[in-house]
């Protein structure tokens, strides 16, 4: 027996439609409608309630409306239904009204049982005078519980009769997820729960009891998650500095770093230091180190490399139009080349470098300009716009000399960004040697000193230092699990003891290596390897920056890595899960790529405003509950949910919760907790100091 949309309509009727627009329906509630508790829908239920649901019959189904607000209007007489009211004179009486937001259609399924299916979107709107109905318990639960592939149970919906909230993992992790909320709102427990419930559901489905072939990688800057996944059932791999029994040493070797990450960490300047740093990286990776006095042929190769580098930059400026837009910058570039070639002309008298010098001199002379500084009277030099012909003539002169040397070289040996093992001390030594050869020691001494100081720090060296047993393939297998999931589907990288000056680089390198390895996996196998990367305290590592900044610092490089993952990660099977208490400080690029949001309590006005703008939904009324949400409650909305849902997240035992409890001041002060148990805090600063100083 199939149910018609109008079954029991009269007993469930609570009001009448009196205003309709595409995004709002206003309803006049009947006098007989329940005040606070409804008994006519099959169970005892609170009514009316903001953000609750009601039904409006349309054709072969119901339009589901979410209550946005309720109000009382004073009326000169009661508006009752029925002829019995005609001729009656009443005292002034209040009438109740409510506003609804249309969210989707609910239709009955054919069959013996009363079953319904909910789909997002309003196919049609009701007409004036249409009845408004209170949903039955099954109808209310169907609004939340409809959908396919709902494999993972995460909580219940208090606004829909505690209906089960289950999600499709492909939709939850397929398009990046942001978990946002204030400290203490249950954010970390939600992240831990999503991971655990996903893995447990997958393990149950496998039936053989084996670990799921899943890959979750947690970047944990506070060391919170080790306790949450310490049980052997999940076989989590925990990497940290000074690991305990059953844990592993955290390793992100410095030969993983690319040239951009080296430049940001060493604060290398763009003009002299950065080109030599890239050259040093190429040469130590190619094994060309320890040469005290280069041969004649090696010197010619260096000249050829230098001219190739100049030609590539010149052609790049020509194609991009920088010779017109940034004429002064291009002029100083040519001027620095002119100075370099003046020195090299003495080293290579047999090579006609004068032709290039003459061409550059003529080109600079045509665009040179200056004016006296008002304060000092000294000339301020600038360059007027260069023509394309001027740049082409310089390019032709470079080509002429390069052809006598064997032609342009775009790459020499391995790229400086390829992860090939080398020793950090070799890089510092070779960089110092290059600075002496190029007579630029005054510009590179500080950079070399910074690298040596960095390598001498024992705590940093334990993470980035040389390890002969560690290969790229072994690192990928240990940290990502490319080969198999035999060692467990979860890797936790505890970053809590990494020094502040290098933690951003470690995070950037790790995230980039994961991303690039999955890129290569897809190219090799013609399919993706689904992997989830969780970034805790995301506002620290994915912080918005100014686009016009010239000197890239480590935090900017770190943010740019995650921006690339946010834009391109889905194509290679890499999903981001961001956890943050300050969404207004996050990169707008990364946040805009998140298609699902799990919002806990957010009190800050600026954060609330940002979240309301980012949400790809017109149901923002539910977001007004954000400042008052109790702990463990959240709003799920976006791609993973058919409609925004208020969710009470499932409980996690204390042993499965991240270590992010509030400090228990009173219990420590009094020495006893609420359960009557003694609370002790043993203090042994000597032991802590010894470990801090590396004595034990």
* pTM as predicted: 0.77
pLDDT at residue 87, as a whole number? 55
3-class DSSP state of 452: helix
Least confident of 53-62, 487-496, 591-600, 663-672: 663-672
Question: What percent of the chain lies above the pLDDT cut of 70?
Answer: 86
Q: Given this model, what pLDDT does residue 519 score?
A: 92
Query: How confident is the model at residue 33, as a pLDDT?
Result: 76
Q: What is the pLDDT of residue 377?
A: 79
- The pLDDT assigned to 83 comes to 46
Tell me the average pLDDT across 208-220: 88
pLDDT for residue 177 is more than 50: yes
Q: Please say if the pLDDT value at position 483 is more than 70.
A: no
Burial 61-85 (b: 16+ CB within 10 A, else e): bbbbbbbbeeeeeeeeeeeeeeeee
Check the CA dihedral 264-267-270-273 and report its sign. Answer: negative
Q: 56-70, 406-420, 503-517: which has the minimum mean pLDDT?
A: 406-420
* Per-residue pLDDT band at 605 (split at 50, 70, 90): confident
What Cα–Cα distance (Å) separates residue 445 from each residue in 285, 324, 435, 605? Answer: 22, 35, 8, 48
pLDDT given for residue 18 in this prediction: 92
Q: Is 469 helix (H, G, I), strand (E, B) or coil?
A: coil
The answer to whether residues 490 and 195 touch, using CB atoms and an 8 Å cutoff, is yes
CB 555 within 8 A of CB 502: no
Q: Choose the weakest-confidence range: 241-255, 333-347, 501-515.
A: 333-347
The predicted structure's pLDDT at residue 93: 61
Q: Reply yes or no on whether the pLDDT at 30 is more than 90.
A: no
Tell me the three state secondary structure of residue 632. Answer: coil
* Rounded Cα gap, residues 610 and 592, in angstroms: 11
What is the average per-residue pLDDT within 214-230? 91
pLDDT of residue 303: 83
Q: What average pLDDT is seen over the chain?
A: 83
Is the model's pLDDT at 488 over the cut of 90? no
CB 324 within 8 A of CB 385: yes
Quickly list H helices, 252-353.
259-266, 273-286, 296-320, 322-325, 327-347
Residue 218: the pLDDT is 96
Closest CA to 596 of 286, 160, 208, 152: 152
Instruction: Dump pLDDT digits (tens) for 67-120.
Output: 888 888 876 555 555 445 555 554 556 788 899 989 889 988 876 567 888 888
Classify 155 as helix, strand or coil. Answer: strand
For residue 495, whether the previous peptide bond is cis, meaning omega lies within 30 degrees of 0, is no
**Model confidence at 576, in pLDDT bands (50, 70, 90)?**
very high
**What CATH number does the domain located at 184-253+468-658 have?**
3.40.50.300
273 neighbors 526 (Cβ within 8 angstroms): no
580 forms beta bridges with 180
Residue 617 confidence (pLDDT): 54
In 3D space, the residue among 175, 179, 169, 217 whose CA is nearest the CA of residue 568 turns out to be 175
Per-residue pLDDT, 324? 63
What's the longest Cα–Cα distance across the chain? Answer: 117
Confidence of residue 132 (pLDDT cuts 50, 70, 90): very high
Q: What are the two backbone dihedrals, phi and then psi, of residue 695, each rounded to the nearest 5 degrees?
A: -85, -20
Measured at the CA of 63, the angle between CA 67 and CA 611, to 5 degrees, comes to 45
**Greater confidence, 353 or 481?**
353
Under 8 Å between Cβ of 580 and 586: yes
Using the predicted structure, report yes or no on whether residue 5 has a pLDDT greater than 50. Answer: no
Q: What are phi and psi of 98, to 5 degrees?
A: -145, 155
For residue 510, what pLDDT band results from cuts at 50, 70 and 90? Answer: very high
Residue 415 structure tokens: 């790229």
pLDDT tens for 442-466 read 888 888 888 888 888 888 888 888 7
Residue 618: per-residue pLDDT: 57
pLDDT band (50, 70, 90) for residue 347: confident
Band of pLDDT at residue 293, cut at 50, 70 and 90: low
pLDDT at position 47, please?
Answer: 72
Contact between 43 and 160 under an 8 Å Cβ cutoff? The reply is no
**Structure confidence at residue 7 (pLDDT):** 47
Q: Which range (119-128, 171-180, 371-380, 473-482) has the least confidence?
A: 371-380
Report the alpha-carbon distance of residue 14 to residue 65 in Å, rounded. 13
Lowest-confidence segment of 62-66, 410-414, 476-480 by average pLDDT: 410-414
Instruction: Write out the E strands in 466-622.
Output: 490-494, 531-535, 574-580, 596-599
**Selection from 100, 96, 75, 128 nearest residue 28 by Cα:** 96
Whether residue 1 is predicted with pLDDT greater than 50 in this model: the reply is no
At 573 the pLDDT is 93
Confidence of residue 252 (pLDDT cuts 50, 70, 90): very high
CA–CA dist 315, 320 (Å, integer)? 9
The CA distance from 561 to 579, in Å, is: 17
Per-domain boundaries in the chain: 9-146, 184-253+468-658, 288-421, 665-696
């Amino acid at each position: 027996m199939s149910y018609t949309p109008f079954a029991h309509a009269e007993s469930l009727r609570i009001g009448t439609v009196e205003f309709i627009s595409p995004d709002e329906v206003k309803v006049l509630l009947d006098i007989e409608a329940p005040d606070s508790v409804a008994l006519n829908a099959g169970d005892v239920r609170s009514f009316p309630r903001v953000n609750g649901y009601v039904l409006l019959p349309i054709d072969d189904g119901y339009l589901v409306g979410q209550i946005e607000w309720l109000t009382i209007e004073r009326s000169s007489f009661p508006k009752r239904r029925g002829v019995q009211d005609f001729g009656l004179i009443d005292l002034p009486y209040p009438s109740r009204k409510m506003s609804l937001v249309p969210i989707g259609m609910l239709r009955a399924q054919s069959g013996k049982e009363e079953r319904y299916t909910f789909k997002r979107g309003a196919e049609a709107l009701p007409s004036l005078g249409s009845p408004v109905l209170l949903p039955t318990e099954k109808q209310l639960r169907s609004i939340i519980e409809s959908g396919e592939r709902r494999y993972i149970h995460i909580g219940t919906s208090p606004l829909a009769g505690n209906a089960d909230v289950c999600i499709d993992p492909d939709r939850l992790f397929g398009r990046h997820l942001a978990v946002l909320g204030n400290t203490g709102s249950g954010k970390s427990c939600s992240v831990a729960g999503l991971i655990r419930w996903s893995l447990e559901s997958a393990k149950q489905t496998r039936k053989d009891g084996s670990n799921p072939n899943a890959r979750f990688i947690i970047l944990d800057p506070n060391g919170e998650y080790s306790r949450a996944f310490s049980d052997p059932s999940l076989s989590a791999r925990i990497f940290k500095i000074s690991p305990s029994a059953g844990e592993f040493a955290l390793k992100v070797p410095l030969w993983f770093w690319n040239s951009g990450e080296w430049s940001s960490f060493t604060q290398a300047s763009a003009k002299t230091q950065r080109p030599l740093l890239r050259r040093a990286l190429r040469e130590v990776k190619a094994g060309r180190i320890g040469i005290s006095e280069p041969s004649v042929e090696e010197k010619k190769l260096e000249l050829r490399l230098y001219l190739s580098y100049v030609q590539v930059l010149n052609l790049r400026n020509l194609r991009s139009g920088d010779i017109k837009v940034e004429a002064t910058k291009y002029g100083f570039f040519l001027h620095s080349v002119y100075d370099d070639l003046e020195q090299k002309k003495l080293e290579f008298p047999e090579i006609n470098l004068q032709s290039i010098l003459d061409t550059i001199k003529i080109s600079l002379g045509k665009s040179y300009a200056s004016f006296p500084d008002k304060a000092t009277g000294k000339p301020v030099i600038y360059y007027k716009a260069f023509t394309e012909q001027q740049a082409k003539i310089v390019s032709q002169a470079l080509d002429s000399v390069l052809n006598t040397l064997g032609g342009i070289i775009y790459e020499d040996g391995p790229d400086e960004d390829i992860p090939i093992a080398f020793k950090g001390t070799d890089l510092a030594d070779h960089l110092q040697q290059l600075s002496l050869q190029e007579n630029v020691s005054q510009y590179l001494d500080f950079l070399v000193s910074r690298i040596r100081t960095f390598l001498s720090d024992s705590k940093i060296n334990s993470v980035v230092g040389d390890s002969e047993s560690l290969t790229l393939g072994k690192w990928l297998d240990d940290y990502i699990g490319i080969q198999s999931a035999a060692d467990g589907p979860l890797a936790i990288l505890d970053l809590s003891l990494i020094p502040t000056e290098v933690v951003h680089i470690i995070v950037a390198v790790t995230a980039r290596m994961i991303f690039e390895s999955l890129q290569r996996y897809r190219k090799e196998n013609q399919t993706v390897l689904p992997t989830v990367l969780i970034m805790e305290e995301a506002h620290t590592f994915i912080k918005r920056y100014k686009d016009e900044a010239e000197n890239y610092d480590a935090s900017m490089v770190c943010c740019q890595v995650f921006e690339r993952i946010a834009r391109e990660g889905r194509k290679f099977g890499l999903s981001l899960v961001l956890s943050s208490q300050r969404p207004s400080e996050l990169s707008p690029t990364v946040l805009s790529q998140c298609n699902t949001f799990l919002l806990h309590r957010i009190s800050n006005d600026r954060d609330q405003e940002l979240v309301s703008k980012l949400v790809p939904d017109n149901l923002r009324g539910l977001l007004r509950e954000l400042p008052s949400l109790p702990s463990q409650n959240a709003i799920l909305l976006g791609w993973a949910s058919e409609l925004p849902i208020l969710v009470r997240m499932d409980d996690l035992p204390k042993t499965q919760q991240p270590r992010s409890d509030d400090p228990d001041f009173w219990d420590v002060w009094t020495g006893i907790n609420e359960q009557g148990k003694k609370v002790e805090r043993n203090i042994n600063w000597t032991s802590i100091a010894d470990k801090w100083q590396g004595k034990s």
